[in-house]
Structures are given as structure tokens and as C-alpha cells.
Structure 1
Amino acid sequence: MNVIKKLRGEGSALPPKPSIRNIVLAGIGGFITIAILAGLNASLVATLILGSFGASCVLVFGFPDAPFSQPRNVVAGHFLSSLIGLLCLTLFGAEWWSVSIAVGLAISLMMLTRTVHPPAGSNPVIVFLAQPGWDFLYLPTLSGAVIIILIALVYNNISRKERYPKYW
């Protein structure tokens, strides 16, 4: 019965609504970033975009002060999660249980290294679906995450009075 009561939640109020300015700026930041990644993706004939990068944009432009949005978390979180995905795929093959192990290990490793970036938690699943080679670590994972951060550094420091990042 206690679990049923917990499912009702605490009854806390919703978080405050962001200002229209912040909402618009976050949307523009995400648009610019994905446009650049998609444009480079098309012109370089190299994969530079992952589905998880859209969620990364939500964090770095919508919530740039959050720990999950800091450069160290974005870059290392994506890299470590893709690495774990590739290791598990290589060692265990594409099995339902091996992708589960990969996601669990990615979460644990991000927590251990203090580089948690929630969108990166989907990278092992992406690895198992696409079954890429080891170059996936660099194109698109590392290069795409670095491009996101480079854009976020410029955009967030131009569009806001607060500094970005909070830490490296």
C-alpha cells in the first residue's frame, strides 16, 4: 500500500515557467546547433548527428546552468556511453540483455566519473540499433558533442548575462 501512496507523488507545484525570452533563445540555440550539425553531415558525407543530440540541445540551451549541461558532462557523457555500447556490442553481440547491460553500465560509469548527461544514456541503444564500427566514437559521437559545446559556448555567452559554463 505504501508504494501506491508514493505513486501519487508529493503534490509539489510545477516548476516556474521560463520567461518567453529564455524559451525563444533556447529554441533558437537548438535550431542553430542541429542546423549546423545536419548541414555538416550533408556536406561532409560523414555522420555528425545522433538522435541524442537533440536532447543535448534541450539541456545546453534550455538549462545551461544545470550540471547535466556542462561541457564535461556533454562530451564525456556521450563518449563514455558510446564506448560502453561499442564494447558490449563487440563482446556480447546484439542481444536484448547485452544492450541492457550497456545502458546500465553507461549510467553507472557516468555517475562514477561525475559526467552524467541524460541524453547520452540513449547512445548504447543507438549503437545496438545501428551496429556501427569503432569510428562511431569519433564520428559522430565525439565530434558532434564538441560541436554542440562550441556552439553553446558562443551562443550562451552572447545571448545571456550569466556565464557558460559553470565549470569544466
Structure 2
Amino acid sequence: MPTPKIKRSYRKTRYILYKETLIDFKEHFWSFLGSFVGIGILAYVQSIHFSGNDAVYLIGSFGASSVLVYGIIQSPFSQPRNLVGGHVISAFIGVTVHKLAPDIIWVAAPLAVSLAIISMQITKTLHPPGGATALIAVIGTEKVKALGYMYVISPVLVGTLILLLTALIFNNMTSSRSYPTHSTYHKHYHKIRKRLVGR
């Protein structure tokens, strides 16, 4: 027979899973569409400018960011300051560490990630995928490494701005979705939308 402690843990787990996963199907639709368009734009840019083997614009951390900015839009980690700031700061640190220790990967890789975490904490821009952005600057393809500090601007800054702009559109399509949180953007967005539709 399960003990009372196990029963309580089960009830808490069930509550958390229910609260976080059983969302309206409309939420699923907008999450899907937002991430599809956001990553789709990056993939299109990638296909135009680079060959299939040179994953420059499609860095893995953008996929992780998409989960946050389209799927968990109320999370503090998903907010624009965290999305843009976390990636840009981490990219800068990753490139710097790679330049200082290009051939010592067992030092450069953990140092880049650790410094990125601390820097995001200090600047209040904590965004978990930022750790991957810093790591990619150290262990990425030769084309990524050859970018140097341009990696911070493109693909990182450009890519995050594309994800952000897409999120600002698709995360405010319904009255139940508001992004960023604690912002009047949602209200203004729907006012403008009503005026355009009214015409």
C-alpha cells in the first residue's frame, strides 16, 4: 500500500502536469504556427546563403528558444529582454573564450558556458538556451568559428530578433495569449488589429 507521503507527491505531480500540459487546443495551434514560421524564416535564410552542411543560421539554441517563446510564453526566461540579451551576451562570451583558448576545448567549453550563466544572472537576462549559444561559438563548425565577433550580430542577434518579432505577432493573436507579460503591447496590438479589420 502506498504511504501518505507517496500519495501526496502523486497528487502534486498530477496537479503540476495538469496545469502545465492540458492547455486549450487553440494554444497548441498558435504555439505550433509561431515556432513553424519563426524557425521557417531562419531555415529559409540558411538555405539561400549557405549550403546544407553549413548550419550557420540554424544553431541548435534557437530550437530551444522556440520552446520557451512560443510554448511557455509566461515564463520569465521567455521575455524579450531574456531572449535577446541572453543570446547576445552568451554569444559574445563564447567567441571571446574561443579566441583566448581555441585549442583547449576541455577548458574553453565549460568556461564559455559557466561565464555565460554568470553574465546572464548579473544582467538579469537569464535565458537557458544562451548556454548553448556560448557553447556553439566554441565547438561549432569551422564556418561558425570563422565568423568571430560577427557571430554575435549574425546569426545570433538577427536570429533572435526574427524569433522575437514572430513571437510578438503569434503570441498575441488571441485574448488569452499576452506577450510580453506585464506589458501594454497586447492591448495596443488588438486595438490596431481591430482598426485594420474594421477598414
Once the two structures are superposed, residues 44-82 of structure 1 have per-residue CA deviations (whole angstroms, 9 ceiling, x without a partner) of 449433111011111011111111011110001000111
Distance across 2 between alignment mates of 1:52 and 1:159: 27
The structure number with the bigger radius of gyration is 2
Distance across 2 between alignment mates of 1:89 and 1:83: 10
* Paired position in structure 1 for 2:157: 142
> Does the CA contact (< 8 Å) of 1:70 and 1:167 recur in 2?
no
Equivalent residues, number: 160
Distance across 1 between alignment mates of 2:173 and 2:50: 31
**TM-score, reference length from structure 1:** 0.86
CA-atom RMSD in angstroms: 2.1
Distance across 2 between alignment mates of 1:140 and 1:31: 18
Q: Counterpart amino acid of 1:124?
A: A
> Does the CA contact (< 8 Å) of 2:94 and 2:135 recur in 1?
yes
> Does the CA contact (< 8 Å) of 2:109 and 2:139 recur in 1?
no
Q: Counterpart amino acid of 2:102?
A: G
**TM-score, reference length from structure 2:** 0.73
Alignment of 1:67 with 2:72, yes or no, is no
Higher alpha-carbon deviation: 91-100 or 63-72: 91-100
Distance across 1 between alignment mates of 2:138 and 2:119: 18
> Does the CA contact (< 8 Å) of 1:78 and 1:142 recur in 2?
yes
* Paired position in structure 1 for 2:90: 81
Distance across 2 between alignment mates of 1:161 and 1:21: 10
* Paired position in structure 1 for 2:39: 34
1:97 to 107, 117, 138: 107
> Does the CA contact (< 8 Å) of 1:64 and 1:70 recur in 2?
yes
Kindly, what percent of the aligned residue pairs are identical? 35
* Paired position in structure 2 for 1:5: none
- Structure 2's unaligned 5+ residue stretches are 1-5, 184-199
